[in-house]
Amino acid sequence: MSFWNNQCVLVTGGAGFIGAHLVDELVRRGARVRVLDNFSTGQRENLLISNHTSQTSNLEVIEGDIRDLDAVRRATTGMDYVLHHAAMVSVPQSMADPQMAHAVNVTGTLNVLLAAREAGARRVVLASSSAVYGDNDELPLQETAIPKPLSPYAASKLAGEVYCQTFSAAYGLPTAALRYFNVFGPRQDPNSQYSAAIPKFIAALLRGEPPTIYGDGLQSRDFIYVANVVQANLLACEREQAIGQVMNVACGERRTLLDLHRDLTALIGTERPPLFAEPRAGDIKHSLASIDKMTRLLNYQPSIDWREGLRRTVEWYREGPRP
């Protein structure tokens, strides 16, 4: 029998890019899944895809905001596990509105932890970010590196991690924080002004247009396909060794944006040189993770490599969302 069979799981932000992939996999494994989402950035269509591929009786959707403690309490009641993905995820947006970043990512996370503690949840897993490291020359980045957040978004994610560790130490609430590096895959919205590079590049190239690179294109990222992130979340719930930990979730490899452009043009079959624009405030230059801790504690290994993940992602955007 699956570990997840009949487990009750709350996914905050479950209509978003990563959240919807988690919902699909959890329902596929027999869990009873509840989604809490205010649909400010999450898409109802993502959950329609979930419904089509899963048993709808095992999926409940609540429209609500993590800044509303009462709404979070209602959503958390009866839940065994909480996968906390609701967040303001944009560095530029946080630079423009730091108060909103704090309200959603810090106060919202505190609300989730309070509600999970009251509900007696067995585990809370926080979606954090590699942005907490800032520009750090000591690559690959290890969890012991001193955080140097360069944006309110990064600072708010770091605060969420500290709250998780505090609730584990002070109240005995089992938590884990996962520092995502650059996640990509189907269902990322290329039309959002705050969207990540890969969906924007793919959308532009499929239209026959040049993608825009902010900076010189030599900035590097540790890209990770979304299925690997789902795997990491499930392991963080299943393994006792995850409790109280902060862990990198990545592939342990880095590629520049020029590498990304080269590989995408080869996959799509187009020759469109990129346009270059001024670097964006708050963006870091280089990012590369050590995944030794995740491997040692949880036996984590990425199951989908860079080229296969990129191929699947391009295929999805070519075919379009499937209801």
Does the annotation mark 133 as catalytic?
no
Tokens 């959308």, located at residue? 203
Smallest Cα–Cα separation from 255: which of 219, 228, 281, 203?
A: 219
Answer for the pair 215, 276: CB distance below 8 angstroms, yes or no: yes
Answer for the pair 213, 272: CB distance below 8 angstroms, yes or no: no
Q: Is 145 exposed, middle or buried (0-12, 13-18, 19+ CB in 10 A)?
A: middle
Report the distance separating Cα 51 and Cα 222, nearest Å: 31
Tokens matching residue 300: 């984590």
Residue type, 284: I
Q: State which H helix or E strand residue 182 sits in.
A: strand 182-184
Report the distance separating Cα 18 and Cα 188, nearest Å: 8
Q: Which of 153, 163, 180, 317 is catalytic?
A: 153
Report the distance separating Cα 92 and Cα 152, nearest Å: 9
Smallest Cα–Cα separation from 86: which of 173, 158, 15?
A: 15
Tokens matching residue 230: 């789902």
Q: What is the torsional sign of CA 104, 106, 110, 112?
A: positive
Report the distance separating Cα 197 and Cα 259, nearest Å: 12
> Residue 101 phi/psi, 5° resolution?
-60, -40
DSSP state of 270: -
For residue 168, CA distances in Å to 69, 127, 132 come to 20, 16, 20
Tokens matching residue 183: 């996640």
Report the distance separating Cα 95 and Cα 112, nearest Å: 24
Residues annotated catalytic, as ranges: 153
